[in-house]
Amino acid sequence: MTTVVSKLPTADALRAQVRDALAAVGSTVALGEPGAGGLAASTPITGDVLFTVAPSSIAEVDAAIGEAAHAFSQWRVTPAPVRGALVGRLGQLLVEHKAALASLVTIEAGKITSEALGEVQEMIDICEFAVGLSRQLYGRTIASERPGHRLMETWHPLGVVGVITAFNFPVAVWAWNTAVALVCGDTVVWKPSELTPLTALACQALLERAAADVDAPTAVGRLVLGEREVGEKLVDDPRVALVSATGSVRMGREVGPRVAGRFGRVLLELGGNNAAIVTPAADLDLAVRGIVFSAAGTAGQRCTTLRRLIVHSSIADELVSRITAAYRQLPVGDPFDERTLVGPLIHTASYRDMVGALQQAQAEGGEVIGGERVDVGPDFEEGAFYVKPAVVRMPSQSAVVHQETFAPILYVLTYETLDEAIALNNAVPQGLSSSIFTLDMREAERFLAADGSDCGIANVNIGTSGAEIGGAFGGEKETGGGRESGSDAWKAYMRRATNTVNYSTELPLAQGVHFG
């Protein structure tokens, strides 16, 4: 049976942790008492509202964009390695305050401590990457068809970048965008999820400290807090050159056309309905470990969470049995307890969506194992939602399997041929992450080929979640097509110019054109 570890901390204890963490990073923003009005800063650990935070008015958002736009005029002509010094200092401060920031991630997002620390480490890693990038914003020289001419490409800062982030990675995704945008010469206005304002206040305090330490303009990074109308201001304001938005497909359908309507740029990171194929040639011990973390980690609330398991019929019974046995051993409860592996769902709506999806799966012929709500003990509150991860054996890839439910539900489908398995992988509208477990080189290469997985991330013998910052992160189809973090994702934050230099005394025209 599911293990429940320790009793939950009290709301008062969590409030004290928040105050200590914000004081440690140097945030001086006043926090209101619960019920005082404003933006509620809640915790999924107990379901309590811990504090209230003053939201940004539309006038304040307008001013923040204006300040960032003004700072851009100075920042864009600052040498890139000097811009890198700001990001390097931010990385140093993140190292110093890693534990404090991770505690806020756990309190607001419900992540277990190791995952929260890992998220802050991801911030540190992208800062290190971006510092190196600040000396590698390379253009290229191109052979010209005209004698005495040089043809080249240069990259220039783009402008103000609006960053809209989701609750499940409340700090890392901001860092992906901000570290790279800053070294590219852009300025940033950040609208975090309304569910995680406290982590945002901490990050903003550290960025302002870093800017002061290296004598950079503080307005290179601005924070605005609020709900939909705040995000809409970023989306619609022509001063915002790029909107990088992480969230649902529904949100992306609104953001994309609105920004395109004013000829701005978008970088969208939307839904993921990720699958793993397990073939008869797989190392099942390895596969079970990868599947369980990818499907149950973060209580199923990652965009890269494994949601569909496509397993060969000859090994399906054994694999499902091993996964369900592993699930029964997963400790559920207080995410601050080092023994816990599964923390809470973010809020009531997430639990309601999970229940609805399981009911729909049963109606479509699915066999549900697990998925019950867990009573975490005498301090159990109606507002806190802890669940057992669910395994659902489905007769076919029905309607519910095509939907992404942000909860720990793993749908199991069977296949007979690898072509059939790849078709099942690609059959959903989302295209973020995918993997195959096999020791057969031909199967692995087939999965990675042009007619294999259609996702932005395709892995072999690891799960669908846990991307490194060195690679570009993002997906295709309804995932939005954006790329963040490593590789050449930096190009999204810059504008390209093609330059031709004539160092001859003649004026030949391209394509052999004569005019004169």
Domain boundaries, the chain: 60-270+480-496, 274-470
Dig out the tokens for 516 from the structure: 């004169």
Instruction: Give the residue numbers annotated as catalytic, written as ranges.
Output: 269, 303
Q: Average pLDDT for consecutive 10-residue bins of the chain (516 residues)?
A: 71 98 96 92 96 97 98 98 98 98 98 98 98 97 96 98 98 98 98 98 98 97 97 98 97 97 98 97 98 97 97 98 97 96 97 98 97 79 89 95 97 98 98 98 98 98 94 97 97 98 94 88
pLDDT score at 380: 58
Distance CA 516, CA 479 (A): 53
β 367-370/390-393 pair status: antiparallel
pLDDT score at 446: 98
Residues 6+ apart with CB under 8 A from 12: none
Intrachain domains 60-270+480-496 and 274-470 with the same fold: no
pLDDT score at 1: 47
- Whether the CB-CB separation of 110 and 346 falls below 8 Å is answered with yes
- The DSSP-derived string for 189-224 is EEE--TT-HHHHHHHHHHHHHHHHHTT--GGGEEE-
Q: How many CA atoms lie within 13 A of 481 on its CB side?
A: 7
Distance CA 508, CA 514 (A): 8
pTM of the entire predicted model: 0.96
What's CA 44's distance to the chain center, in Å? 19
pLDDT score at 36: 86
pLDDT score at 503: 97
- Whether the CB-CB separation of 267 and 473 falls below 8 Å is answered with no
Ramachandran angles phi, psi of 310, nearest 5°: -110, 105
Residues 6+ apart with CB under 8 A from 23: none
Residues 6+ apart with CB under 8 A from 291: 276, 278, 306, 309, 323, 410, 463
pLDDT score at 7: 82
Q: Which residues pair with 393 in a beta bridge?
A: 367, 412
- Whether the CB-CB separation of 217 and 74 falls below 8 Å is answered with yes
- Which DSSP letter does residue 385 get? B
CATH architecture of 60-270+480-496: 3-Layer(aba) Sandwich (3.40)
End-to-end CA distance of the chain: 88
β 221-223/39-42 pair status: unpaired
Dig out the tokens for 260 from the structure: 């395109």
pLDDT score at 37: 87
Distance CA 208, CA 243 (A): 22
CATH T-level assignment (fold) for domain 274-470: Aldehyde Dehydrogenase; Chain A, domain 2 (3.40.309)
Distance CA 310, CA 314 (A): 12
With CA atoms as reference, report the closest residue to 415 among 278, 275, 290.
278
Distance CA 341, CA 301 (A): 13
